[in-house]
Structure 1
Amino acid sequence: MHECGYFLRNNYRLQYKEWRHVPIEFRLPLRHKITTLFEIDVENAEVCKVIDSYLAKAWRGYRSKLHEDFKQIGGLEDPTKAKTTPPSNVSKEDWEYLCDMWPETKYKENAEKKVKARAQRKINSKNGSKSTIHCHIERGLDLESSTGQIETWRLTHWDAKKGWISTDAAAKYEKMMNLRNEHPVESMSDKSIIETVLGRSSVRLHGWGRDPSWWMLTMI
């Protein structure tokens, strides 16, 4: 994660609304730079998903830091003036793009929604800063499999000595298992069940992607 952040800060492109809009032409060189330090198979799709999740987190974190700098120099009150004082390691073009984006009404509304959503999360996990996908991979499981994700979620919210981290987590798991027992894997995967019970924005599923069967269920 540290090296991803380092490469990103020194080879970044900031003129995109979100990481998902960053073109593959920009991501590929970053992946290959990482291979200069680590033995990584960048031709493996699952490995690339993990790398991209780290790059996305580093990209968002760096932009968040720049946003704080922008606010500290009075950018919200006078964006034009803020444009004249870009950080030393940010290009003039990138900085002007960000200074125009941050004061936008739509951007501020989306930011407020995200803050409220994070505040409303009731279920924490015991895996700290480690993502759910990282825990899933450590278990030696395939990211594209239809089963196994529910068990990964359970292991990040339950402890052999202390039990469930909350009564709410226990109740959510019970709902997941009820759905698992009611629906065959072919019609409803573990990922679909987790999204149904928790909601896509309420659980850390970085890199798991939305399951095709989930879309079919929402259209029924």
Structure 2
Amino acid sequence: MYEKLEVKFELLRTNTIFMEYVNARLHAQWKRTRGKWSEHWKKNGGKTNPQLARSKRKSDCPIQEWNHLCDYWELEKTKKYSDKMEANRAKQVNISRGGSRSIANHTFQMINPETQMPPSPLELYHKLHFNATKQGWLNENSRIEYENIIEHKQAALDELNSKGITITTTMEHQLEKEAIKSVCGRKKTIQSAWEVGVGPVLRKKDSWMKSVAESSQRDSSENESLRNKVIALEAKQKRDKEKYERMFEFIGTKFPDFESIFPIDASDEAVSDNTI
């Protein structure tokens, strides 16, 4: 993988942070590719007739990698683990399309490129449980829970509106989070590093997104501070200039010949403005 990358890009191998990111992305890509090859192996009778499945190699998989993976999939230990995982997935009531990707990663990918606004919790929930290009809702339970979430959110909005409270976007997103937890977490334990009803939250390998967000926030704060300083300096300059003009006018009323004694031309005014 390194060799293929270096055909088009320069890998900064001495940069530890950069290489950690590259390795994380390569590892994620390898997991996705291996999963597709595993699915192909199973569809061709890998569990019942492994020799036949081995002979039907996927076209985009090199022979060496294919033989290595077939050896791994044919191990008795691998078969037992695979059967156990399939049985566990079959027990899931409210399944998700999120896969191993965390909520933070999905949210990062769904940020609006124009407004730079992240999706609402309800939008994220819909994306993880609805597939418009295939069967729609992953199952009937997902559809029912989505409708219940909307009902809980609307009830909370109606209560706030009855009290005359102005609802902001931040408040609305918080109401959606509470509605999701209320509906999806009734019979489930809230586990560490998981968000009820949607999946894993920010993990160690997603730390690069956190650093990007913090850097963007820090730059925004610094720019805002600089803008405030410029505005303050401009206001001070305006006040000083008005003070100078009032003083000049006062002296002119007391000493009518003041301007004839100390003539001020345009260049002098420019100098005065710069001095102020």
Bin for the TM-score computed over the shorter chain: 0.3 to 0.5
TM-score (norm 1): 0.43
Q: Higher relative contact order at CA 8 Å, sep ≥6: structure 1 or structure 2?
A: 1
Of Structure 1 and Structure 2, the greater helix share is in 2
Q: If the length of structure 2 is used for normalisation, what is the TM-score?
A: 0.36
